[in-house]
Structure 1
């Protein structure tokens, strides 16, 4: 797998995310300002609830746009050890496989890269912390529903040919 292809898929995922959240923010704004939101009684809170939703969606849109800006400037690490910016293939004993991208934004996001799934992890999470400074072939312990499972760093992707 090439890092260029991974990066293209990452940017497509981020752009789709911004589009979806933008649509949701617009719908919430329309609901908050529409004629149906005008209070009919002093106990009618439909318009107020919609305005809270619109505000939340607008804030979520700002966050998604910030994530998009971060990933537009993002560069993959060229280190042989896992560091911020690393992309690696993590394989667990139970057959779970993910391309993991260690990044400062958008932790927990998951998207497809060809026939595989990619997961963005921040270094603030237990998984991110356990991956830092590891090398290819190193094992880490992951928890899944309270059960410890061994996972191996199968490969750290590099732009070097």
Structure 2
């Protein structure tokens, strides 16, 4: 499991470097002499400044997520454990298709390639995580996705 947390940190660091480059480009554009407004309708510099601000907020968020995962002490799980934050959960739908979900403390929405295949990071505040938390192996969970009822069975907890 240490591999998964390291892979999440690696992806977050990649996203951070991408956001830092984009933020620098937006800052350069906002402060470039050619982008000084010629009239009140010329908003290129203002738009670039908003973009730079948004990128700086994203950078701060990514730095916070990286720090959180670097200091994260993941609980130990087995198939008799209840699902909680830190669990890698394998669920199976009615068509016997399996998905792996990591309930992480942050960075929901990341997809990480791992030895288990693709792992989707979700956070405890998501509707699916709220349904899974406190459940056990072989429990069934009913959910609605895109206005369609879906039933999952919990196959394993790691």
Q: TM-score, normalised by structure 1?
A: 0.87
Aligned-partner Cα distance in 2 for 1:50–1:60: 15
Counterpart for residue 140 of structure 1: 141
Counterpart for residue 23 of structure 1: 21
Candidates 28, 42, 45, aligned match of 1:44? 42
Change in CA separation of 1:96 and 1:68 when aligned onto 2, cut-off 3 Å: farther
Change in CA separation of 1:31 and 1:95 when aligned onto 2, cut-off 3 Å: farther
Are positions 1:156 and 2:157 aligned together?
yes
CA displacement at 1:46 relative to structure 2: 0.7
1:135-158: CA deviation from partner (whole Å, max 9, x where unpaired):
11211113221111111221111x
Q: 1:5-154 maps to which residues of 2 (within 5 A)?
A: 5-79=3-77, 80-94=81-95, 96-114=97-115, 116-154=117-155
CA displacement at 1:8 relative to structure 2: 2.3
- For structure 2, list consecutive stretches of 5 or more residues without a partner in the other structure: none
Aligned-partner Cα distance in 2 for 1:48–1:106: 30
CA displacement at 1:81 relative to structure 2: 0.9
Q: TM-score, normalised by structure 2?
A: 0.88
Runs of 4+ in 1 over 6 A off after TM superposition: none
Q: CA RMSD in A?
A: 1.7
What is the count of residue pairs matched by the alignment? 155
Change in CA separation of 1:132 and 1:51 when aligned onto 2, cut-off 3 Å: same
